[in-house]
Structures are given as structure tokens and as C-alpha cells.
Amino acid sequence: MKIAQTLIAMFACVVLSACGGRVDEAELDGPVILTIAEAPQPSPNPPAYEGLFATYEIPVADARVFSRRDLSALRWRQITTDFPAGSPRRSFEGPRLSDVLQAAGFARGTSVRLTAFDGYEAEIDAAMIARHDPILALRADGAPLPTGGLGPVMLVWPRGDRGALSDMSDDLWAWGVFAIRPVEAEAEAG
Ligand SMILES: Nc1nc2c(c(=O)[nH]1)N[C@H]1C(S)=C(S)[C@@H](COP(=O)(O)O)O[C@H]1N2
Ligand SMILES: [Mo]
């Protein structure tokens, strides 16, 4: 019967791919989850200019790319804070934005624009990065941020009851982030 044959074929494929080694070890680390465009230290195999890179016109020829493993190899900071503003606190964890930019070869003092799947863009001034050291959170309350929710990567700031960020709005808390690019400093007038 046709259905039985199809089922047997599907089962055979699952077994073969499980023991056939078609997926190499590096691939099991997962796909690139974060791309830093126009990086001074680009990756040898930048992604193709297609999909959302093309839709949002993010140049990737000199991109530095990060898998979840790459981001996990950096030192992480934990920030316990409310998001959205005023909601119960969660414990976010991930590498510092400053360290990810440094890993891509940028000098301190680079302002950046984060782009999310939905086209949302947050421009982060270098002074804000230096002053508050936000993280690119990959986890909240001990679980990975899901793609389709706030993940895979979200910019999280140390907003607390006190201090400079206590009244901060959620504008700069970009979720669903997949790309970051440098913003040229505005030319001095006159
Ligand atoms: N990717 C993405 N991140 C985002 C936004 C968004 O629309 N898309 N909105 C920002 C703003 S203005 C707020 S108030 C919070 C919550 O946005 P939401 O209500 O659209 O979830 O997320 C921030 N981060
Ligand atoms: Mo908002």
C-alpha cells in the first residue's frame, strides 16, 4: 500500500540521517543567530545577501557572524530587571554588547543600530553603551529566549528602582534581534 511504503521510506530516512553523519558537529551548534555587519574583523564565510539582510539592506560582505556557541564563549553578565517596564522582574543573561562589538573588531566608542526580525531598529549611542553596559540577552529566568518571542537575542539594560535608568522607556529594548551594524558618527557641522 502506498501509505505504508511512504511511512517505511520516511522511517528509513530518519534512521539513515541519524547514523549517516550528514550533519557535521559544527552544524549541530546551530545556525548563525547574530550578524554584525561591516566588522573590522569579519568572518571567513559571511552569509549571503538574501532574505531579511536584503529586505532591510544590511550589507553582509564584511560581517562577523556569531552562533549561539560563539556568544556563549564570551563572558556573560546577568541583569535582573522588569520588561516590559513595570512588569515582574526577570533574570536576563547574555554577553555584553560592548564585548560582542569588541569581538567583531570594533573600537570602543562605536555607536550601533540593532535590527530585529520585524524591522524594528534601535540606535544605541556609544555613550549609552559605555555608561550602562547593556547585554545581548540569550536567556531569561534560566531558559533560552525563544525565536518568535523575545529571542534569539534581546538588548537588556540595567534598569532598576534607582539610578539613571529608573525612568527609561522600552524603546531601546529591542527583541528578536538578528543583526547589528555600526552607525557612522555624524559629521561635525562647520
Ligand atoms: N523587535 C522589536 N522590539 C521592540 C519593539 C518592537 O516593535 N519590535 N518595540 C519596543 C517598544 S517601543 C516597546 S514599548 C517594547 C514592547 O513592545 P511590544 O509592545 O511591541 O512588544 O519593546 C521594544 N522592543
Ligand atoms: Mo513602546
Q: How far is the CA of 150 from the centre of ligand 1 (A)?
A: 9
CA distances from 190 to 53, 85, 150, 184, 185 (A): 35, 40, 43, 18, 15
Minimal-distance CA residue to ligand 1 atom 13: 170
Neighbours of ion ligand 2 (CB under 5 A): 170
The CA 169 to ligand 2 mean position distance, Å, reads 7
State in Å: Cα 56 to ligand 2 middle: 21
Q: 35-50: per-residue pLDDT in tens? A: 999 999 999 999 999 9
Q: What is the pLDDT of residues 137-177, one digit of tens each?
A: 999 999 999 999 999 999 999 998 788 999 999 999 999 99
Q: Ligand 1: does its nearest atom lie under 6 Å from the Cβ of 84?
A: yes
3-class SS of residue 9: helix
Q: Which stretch, 2-11, 22-31, 77-86, has highest mean pLDDT?
A: 77-86
Position 146 scores a pLDDT of 98
From the CA atom positions of the chain, what is the Rg in Å?
Answer: 20
21 pocket-lining for ligand 1 (C-beta < 6 Å): no
